[in-house]
């Protein structure tokens, strides 16, 4: 017995597969050296991958299928450790959309972290939407910070969906964004620990039971709860890949001169720079620097860009 299926759970050396859009998971193992051509990622198989498998019997716990081949990915989200390691890790593959879950506080947002995820989605052609969770708190307690966040990212061209897993606000809007049952979209949910990804998934479909995390009061940082990558079918339509809470997001396979291309607000102005190429750091007549000075491009996003340039310089030394 053999066929093709999608990886819907990655527990290290063991996997669950299902022939999407049908949801009938069955176990599988990875034997031998199965890798994508040219990939040096630490995980050869990622949730969302389409794989070729075989099994002498109907797959079961006692007779799991064996993954033989990984079909070339249409896209993926990949990250490198921020400690200058050269190893990378594929978070998920073959995505229709990525939803990046953030909070302004509890835990406090790190804009460079968010910008790295958004940029990586842009590099691999994955539409990205920002989910701003716990908005019931921020609208009352931090209205100015909330308005500033919207200004920064909506002016850059990103959609923001405000949600509250506690009150249910925005959940219906998000549910519609996941797609219909007929479309069978695969959506990644990612973000830092403690932002409420699992709580949002539970609000979207109460029949699902992802692990819900807690916040460390000592550091106002989320504690890791999800230790594996897993896909869930949403009863209203579409699939969600829930990734473990991340604490770092290093860029992979991107030259420094390409970084600005994936800042939409910078890309719109590059043609007006006096010099080509332009690093947008020291050149006279730079349209991007002028836009930052005039407040057209946010200083926060520009500082993220400069940080990525510096990270690239250190990594290549």
Phi, psi of 137, rounded to the nearest 5 degrees: -75, -45
Q: What angle do CA 96, 201, 223 make, to 5 degrees?
A: 110
Measured CA to CA, the distance from residue 233 to residue 181 in angstroms comes to 10
For residue 247, how far is the Cα from the chain centroid? 12
CA dihedral over 242, 243, 246, 250, signed as positive or negative = negative
| Percent with pLDDT over 90 in the chain | 69
**133 in Cβ contact with 200 (< 8 Å):** yes
**207 in Cβ contact with 200 (< 8 Å):** no
Measured CA to CA, the distance from residue 173 to residue 171 in angstroms comes to 5
pLDDT tens-digit series, residues 207-256 = 987 654 333 333 333 333 334 789 999 999 999 999 877 666 777 778 88
Q: Model's pTM, two decimal places?
A: 0.87
Tokens of 88: 């990378």
pLDDT at 280 over 60: yes
Give the pairing type, strands 88-93 and 76-80.
antiparallel
Write down all domains in the chain, each with its CATH number in brackets: 2-70 (2.40.50.140), 76-242 (3.40.50.300), 256-315 (1.10.40.50)
pLDDT at 152 over 50: yes
Say whether 87 sits in a helix, a strand or coil.
coil
* Measured distance between the N- and C-terminal CA atoms of the chain, rounded to whole angstroms: 50
């Amino acid at each position: 017995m053999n066929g093709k299926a999608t990886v819907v759970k990655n527990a290290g050396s063991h996997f669950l597969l299902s022939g999407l859009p049908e949801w009938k998971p069955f176990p599988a193992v990875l034997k031998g050296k199965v890798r994508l051509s040219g990939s040096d990622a630490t995980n050869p198989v990622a949730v969302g991958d389409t794989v070729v498998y075989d099994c002498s019997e109907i797959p079961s716990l006692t007779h799991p299928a064996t993954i033989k081949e990984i079909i070339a990915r249409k896209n993926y989200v990949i990250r490198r450790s921020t400690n200058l390691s050269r190893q990378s890790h594929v978070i998920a593959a073959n995505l229709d959309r990525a939803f990046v879950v953030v909070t302004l506080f509890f835990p406090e947002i790190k804009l460079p972290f968010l910008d790295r995820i958004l940029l990586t989605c842009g590099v691999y052609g994955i539409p990205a939407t920002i989910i701003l969770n716990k908005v019931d708190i921020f609208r009352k307690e931090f209205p100015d910070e909330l308005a500033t966040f919207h200004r920064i990212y909506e002016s850059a061209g990103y959609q923001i969906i405000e949600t509250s897993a506690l009150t249910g606000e925005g959940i219906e809007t998000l549910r519609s964004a996941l797609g219909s049952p007929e479309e069978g979209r695969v959506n990644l949910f990612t973000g830092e620990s403690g932002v409420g990804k699992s709580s949002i998934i539970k609000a979207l479909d109460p029949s699902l039971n992802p692990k819900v995390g807690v916040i460390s009061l000592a550091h106002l940082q989320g504690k890791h709860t999800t230790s594996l990558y897993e896909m869930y079918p949403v009863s209203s339509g579409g699939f969600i890949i829930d990734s473990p809470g991340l604490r770092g997001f290093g860029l992979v396979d991107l030259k420094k001169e390409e970084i600005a291309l994936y800042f939409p607000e910078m890309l719109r102005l590059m043609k007006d720079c006096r010099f080509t190429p332009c690093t947008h750091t020291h050149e006279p007549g730079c349209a991007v620097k002028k836009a930052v000075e005039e407040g057209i491009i946010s200083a926060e996003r520009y500082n993220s860009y400069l940080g990525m340039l510096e990270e690239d310089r250190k990594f290549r030394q």
